[in-house]
């Protein structure tokens, strides 16, 4: 299981990439079947007896012990008395991987893939059917592709894509995008291939502890980089190669039981990145990366084929720098490797470089012999590539889409014929109904006249309602005009107060006097802001809510400080309890100040002289809750549902005869609702009232500890 696309030396890079893609499907199948990608989001249908068998066989396969794995699988399955459908499906899957990856017998592998498809069609649930059906079609497509029967391969790929798309199966779509990227890469459409690899990466939903998911993602990243490399975008290629290495390093510790696989992945990326550095004339770093790649993958059990290709790249560098001794020594070392590990593309380039070496030594007979061997191997690869290009993947997929649409239309045609028959029956019934209606026409004539009379009455009532609505509209406009006039006339005196306090702030006053002046100034500006909002509301349907981060402790403290003089007139005291740690929340300072002021003013108004009013705030993790409690006259239960209504009839005079307009709580509720907050009350007649306001904290701020700090403002 290695990164599929690997870079190549410039003169023959494309041909060697063909080899990379040729080995794609055996490797992809290993990943897909071992990880059970399609079933990652559902409870496995494996029996308890099969689960340990699956784990052990998967480990043996990924450790290149396929023969041992197959013997263990067949022996274990013979002892399971009643294997589930998924048990048998996965058994066929292992056989498919064995014959395709280990034996390179695509015809036998295809038989097992067909058996998988038969089992998929007998799935018990829709979810099981989709997972098994998609996986089986991808396996069949891979077998046909390896046998160069491209039309059949594309047909099964399209079928897997169709079912996965219609069932929103991202795992299936990711696997499909991966294969399309590989095919387009192989025929030279690198920019489009990169987009498919990115789509495969985006659709993957890896589990953090599943090795195959990790390996697929690093493959996607490496393949994106290779696509950019061949599209002459070296900076983008280097970026994604580095991103691949970083991703491998970040996840290596999770899979410490597979150190060889991690190192092989790194070795592949080193070799790929080296070729970009060669193109940028950074030969020194390229040689270093190639040597690291060869040292990793030349080890027993690692990707010897990739090591051979990296050696070819290094040999090309030796030739380019006229280091013929190093070139000959490296090629001589490679000969036994090529005899034991067959690699058609590496062998072709080995013959090409040997030919060039003997040309440099003026030994032309040997040079010619090696050149002829090179041409023979190159012609074989070119013929395979030509056959693939003639298949035209885009045209084939478009044809399958059209065929599917035609079949769909045929199905719809049958349904339409059924509907037509139903329509004929309905038409006959309609004729009978019309006959009955005509027969009863005379009987219904009187009823029609009655309905006409009622309609006339309704029209008269409608006209009266329209007239009333117009009068209400004119009345509302007149109220808005009066409100604008009053608000406008108030701006000048309040603005004068604000300007006067601004000037007084610079005079020589005591600190207490300056504090009072500051409160007057802030109140004046808040009042001006309120007037501006009134003018804005009367001129537009909705005023803009201007929010900012506000320290709720500070806002609450200033509100209490401002109203302590009003409480002092009735000999009352206000007890304030704040948070230990300041907490900023996203609110409109002026509007929330108005809510708090309204609640405290009401508490003062409806509390007896000399009584206490409690204002507190507490931290509720994702919210803060402000409470204003008094020991006043309370609110009868029958009036509690009305106090938040505009111009409520529930208004009562205060304990000192203060007037109540019935608007404060309604305005407060509107403000809190606009902040997505909540306001409510708890009260009993004669036992005081408690009003609560809950406001949300910003989502990106951590909740603070909420011990309350007791601060009492005593007024006498």
**Judgement on whether residues 300 and 360 belong to the same structural domain of the protein:** yes
Out of 497, 518, 544, pick the residue that ends a domain: 544
* Between residues 480 and 277, the one the model is more confident about: 277
pLDDT on residue 390:
52
pLDDT on residue 242:
93
Beta strands in 85-205 (DSSP E): none
Supply the CATH number for residue 479's domain. 1.10.287
| 545 to 11, 548, 696: CA distances (angstroms) | 66, 10, 16
Whether residue 3 has pLDDT greater than 60: no
Share of the chain above pLDDT 70, in %: 80
Reported confidence tier of residue 696, pLDDT bands at 50, 70, 90? very high
**Judgement on whether residues 173 and 309 belong to the same structural domain of the protein:** yes
Reported confidence tier of residue 710, pLDDT bands at 50, 70, 90? very low
Domain count, the chain: 3
Nearest of 403, 400, 380 to residue 391 by alpha carbon? 400
| Strand arrangement of the beta sheet that strand 678-683 belongs to | 678-683, 689-696, 623-629, 612-619, 573-579, 708-713
pLDDT on residue 488:
64
pLDDT on residue 672:
93
* Between residues 58 and 483, the one the model is more confident about: 58
**Judgement on whether residues 269 and 378 belong to the same structural domain of the protein:** yes
Kindly state whether residue 409 falls inside one of the protein's structural domains. Answer: no
Mean pLDDT along residues 562-583: 88
Mean pLDDT along residues 72-80: 92
- Could you report the per-residue pLDDT of 128-181, keeping only the tens digit for each? 888 899 999 999 988 988 887 877 888 888 888 888 887 777 877 888 888 888
**Judgement on whether residues 570 and 518 belong to the same structural domain of the protein:** no
**Judgement on whether residues 508 and 628 belong to the same structural domain of the protein:** no
Domain that holds residue 707: 548-713
- According to DSSP H, which parts of 208-282 are helical? 211-230, 234-251, 259-279
* Between residues 3 and 485, the one the model is more confident about: 485
Out of 501, 516, 544, pick the residue that ends a domain: 544
Mean pLDDT along residues 208-225: 85
Kindly state whether residue 397 falls inside one of the protein's structural domains. Answer: no
- Could you report the per-residue pLDDT of 628-681, keeping only the tens digit for each? 999 888 888 878 788 887 656 666 777 777 766 667 788 888 899 999 999 999
* Between residues 204 and 412, the one the model is more confident about: 204
pLDDT on residue 536:
57
pLDDT on residue 587:
92
Strand partners, 711: 576
**Judgement on whether residues 538 and 588 belong to the same structural domain of the protein:** no
Kindly state whether residue 468 falls inside one of the protein's structural domains. Answer: yes
Kindly state whether residue 226 falls inside one of the protein's structural domains. Answer: yes
Reported confidence tier of residue 391, pLDDT bands at 50, 70, 90? low
Whether residue 74 has pLDDT greater than 80: yes
d(CA 394, CA 357): 43
**Judgement on whether residues 264 and 357 belong to the same structural domain of the protein:** yes
Reported confidence tier of residue 534, pLDDT bands at 50, 70, 90? low
**Judgement on whether residues 508 and 554 belong to the same structural domain of the protein:** no
Q: What is the mean pLDDT of the chain?
A: 79
Supply the CATH number for residue 641's domain. 3.30.565.10
Whether residue 111 has pLDDT greater than 90: yes
**Judgement on whether residues 230 and 334 belong to the same structural domain of the protein:** yes
Nearest of 523, 526, 521, 527 to residue 506 by alpha carbon? 521
Contact status, residue 137 vs residue 176, Cβ threshold 8 Å: no
Kindly state whether residue 704 falls inside one of the protein's structural domains. Answer: yes
Whether residue 434 has pLDDT greater than 70: yes
pLDDT on residue 652:
75
Q: Which of 103-107, 467-471, 559-563 has the lowest mean pLDDT?
A: 467-471
* Between residues 327 and 517, the one the model is more confident about: 327
Spatial neighbors of 366 by CB under 8 A, at least 6 apart, are 354, 358
Helix (H) or strand (E) holding 557: helix 552-569
Whether residue 22 has pLDDT greater than 60: no
**Judgement on whether residues 664 and 553 belong to the same structural domain of the protein:** yes
Out of 346, 365, 391, pick the residue that ends a domain: 391
Nearest of 267, 256, 270 to residue 211 by alpha carbon? 256
pLDDT on residue 91:
94
Kindly state whether residue 400 falls inside one of the protein's structural domains. Answer: no
Burial 254-269 (b: 16+ CB within 10 A, else e): ebeebebbbbbbbbbb
Kindly state whether residue 278 falls inside one of the protein's structural domains. Answer: yes
Whether residue 337 has pLDDT greater than 80: yes
Beta strands in 538-583 (DSSP E): 548-551, 573-579
Contact status, residue 143 vs residue 110, Cβ threshold 8 Å: yes
pLDDT on residue 599:
92
pLDDT on residue 9:
33
Kindly state whether residue 402 falls inside one of the protein's structural domains. Answer: no
Nearest of 203, 208, 198, 214 to residue 62 by alpha carbon? 214
**Judgement on whether residues 221 and 234 belong to the same structural domain of the protein:** yes
Instruction: Indicate the pairing of strand 573-579 with strand 708-713.
Output: antiparallel
pLDDT on residue 505:
67
pLDDT on residue 150:
78
Supply the CATH number for residue 185's domain. 1.25.40.10
**Judgement on whether residues 248 and 294 belong to the same structural domain of the protein:** yes
């Amino acid at each position: 299981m290695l990164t599929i696309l690997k870079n190549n030396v410039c003169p023959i890079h494309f041909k060697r990439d063909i080899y990379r893609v040729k080995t794609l499907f055996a490797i992809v199948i290993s990943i897909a079947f071992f990880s059970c990608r399609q079933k990652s989001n559902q409870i496995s249908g494996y029996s308890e007896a099969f689960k340990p068998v699956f784990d052990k066989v998967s480990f043996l396969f990924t450790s290149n012990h396929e023969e041992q794995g197959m013997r263990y699988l067949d022996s274990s399955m013979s002892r399971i008395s009643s294997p589930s459908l998924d048990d048998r499906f996965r058994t066929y899957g292992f056989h498919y991987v064995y014959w395709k990856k280990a034996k390179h017998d695509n015809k036998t592998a295809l038989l097992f893939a067909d058996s998988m498809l038969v089992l998929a069609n007998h799935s018990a649930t829709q979810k099981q059917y989709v997972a098994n059906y998609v996986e089986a079609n991808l396996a069949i497509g891979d077998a046909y592709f390896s046998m160069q029967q491209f039309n059949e391969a594309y047909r099964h790929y399209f079928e897997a894509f169709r079912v996965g798309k219609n069932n929103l199966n991202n795992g299936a779509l990711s696997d499909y995008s991966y294969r399309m990227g590989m095919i387009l890469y192989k025929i030279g459409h690198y920019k489009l291939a990169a987009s498919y690899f990115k789509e495969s990466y985006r659709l993957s939903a890896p589990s953090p502890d599943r090795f195959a998911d990790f390996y697929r993602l690093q493959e996607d990243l490496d393949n994106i980089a290779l696509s950019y490399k061949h599209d002459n975008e070296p900076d983008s290629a280097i970026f994604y190669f580095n991103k691949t290495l970083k991703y491998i390093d970040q996840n290596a510790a999770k899979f410490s039981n597979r150190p060889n696989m991690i190192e092989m992945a790194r070795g592949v990326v080193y070799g790929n990145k080296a070729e970009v550095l060669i193109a940028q004339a950074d030969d020194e770093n390229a040689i270093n990366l190639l040597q690291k790649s060869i040292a990793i993958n030349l080890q027993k059990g690692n990707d010897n084929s990739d090591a051979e290709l990296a050696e070819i790249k290094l040999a090309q560098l030796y030739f380019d720098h006229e280091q013929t001794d190093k070139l000959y020594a490296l090629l001589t070392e490679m000969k036994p490797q090529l005899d034991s590990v067959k690699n058609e593309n590496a062998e072709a380039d080995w013959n090409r470089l040997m030919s060039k070496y003997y040309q440099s030594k003026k030994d032309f007979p040997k040079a010619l012999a090696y050149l002829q061997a090179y041409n023979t191997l190159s012609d074989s690869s070119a013929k395979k590539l030509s056959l693939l290009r003639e298949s035209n993947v885009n045209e084939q997929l478009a044809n399958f889409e059209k065929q599917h649409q035609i079949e769909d239309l045929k199905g719809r045609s049958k349904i339409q014929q059924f509907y037509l028959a139903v329509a004929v029956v309905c038409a006959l019934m309609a004729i009978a109904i019309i006959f009955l209606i005509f027969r009863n026409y005379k009987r219904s004539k009187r009823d029609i006249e009655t309905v006409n009379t009622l309609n006339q009455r309704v029209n008269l009532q409608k006209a009266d309602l329209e007239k009333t609505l117009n009068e209400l509209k004119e009345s509302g406009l007149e109220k808005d005009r009066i409100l604008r006039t009053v608000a406008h006339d108030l701006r000048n005196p309040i603005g004068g107060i604000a300007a006067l306090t601004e000037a007084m702030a610079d005079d020589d006053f005591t600190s207490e006097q300056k504090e009072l002046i500051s409160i007057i100034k802030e109140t004046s500006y808040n009042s001006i802001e309120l007037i501006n909002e009134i003018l804005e509301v009367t001129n537009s349907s909705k005023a803009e809510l201007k929010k900012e981060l506000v320290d709720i402790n500070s806002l609450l403290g200033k509100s209490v400080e401002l109203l302590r003089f009003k409480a002092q007139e009735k000999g009352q005291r206000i007890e304030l309890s704040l948070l230990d740690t300041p907490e900023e929340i996203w609110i409109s300072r002026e509007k929330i100040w108005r809510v708090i002021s309204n609640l405290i003013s009401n508490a003062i108004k409806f509390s007896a002289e000399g009584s206490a009013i409690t204002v507190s705030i507490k931290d509720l993790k994702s919210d803060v809750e402000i409470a204003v409690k008094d020991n006043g006259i309370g609110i009868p239960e029958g009036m509690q549902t009305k106090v938040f209504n505009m111009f409520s009839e529930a208004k009562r005079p205060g304990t000192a005869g203060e007037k109540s307009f019935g608007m404060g709580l309604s305005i407060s509720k509107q403000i809190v609702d606009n902040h997505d907050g909540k306001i409510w009350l708890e009260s009993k007649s004669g036992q005081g009232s408690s009003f609560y306001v809950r406001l949300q904290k910003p989502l990106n701020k951590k909740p603070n500890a909420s011990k309350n700090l007791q601060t009492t403002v005593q007024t006498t």
